[in-house]
Amino acid sequence: MERDGLAYHETMDAHEMVNIKTIGLMKAKLMQGLCFDNDLKALMEKDVQQSTAALKELKELYLKARTL
């Protein structure tokens, strides 16, 4: 039996992953402004870049799965 798109639990899992990544991204961006250590600030910037890339990838996967 073939099914179009995502099952309900798959949609909820994707939603949870996006929420977790988004919250982490917001925290890292907020903490960058409060941080005075350059090494830590650079690490947070790397986290922001990786989280942004992960969110883009999740979006692409979700949109691809929705069109199946």
Question: Who wins on pLDDT, 63 or 68?
Answer: 63
Q: How would you classify residue 2: left for phi > 0, otherwise alpha for psi between -120 and 50, otherwise beta? A: beta
pLDDT at position 16 is 93
Q: What's the number of domains the chain is made of? A: 1
pLDDT at position 3 is 62
Using only the alpha carbons of the chain, give its radius of gyration. Answer: 16
Residue ranges making up the domain that contains 54: 8-60
Predicted confidence (pLDDT) per residue in 8-52, tens digit: 898 899 899 999 999 999 999 999 989 999 999 999 999 999 999
Q: Within a domain: residue 1?
A: no
Q: Within a domain: residue 66?
A: no
- 53, amino acid identity: A
Using the structure block, give the residue that is written with the tokens 């979700």: 62
pLDDT at position 34 is 92
pLDDT classification of 62: cutoffs 50, 70, 90: confident
- φ/ψ (deg, to 5) at 13: -60, -45
Q: Where are the alpha helices (DSSP H) in 1-68?
A: 8-34, 38-66
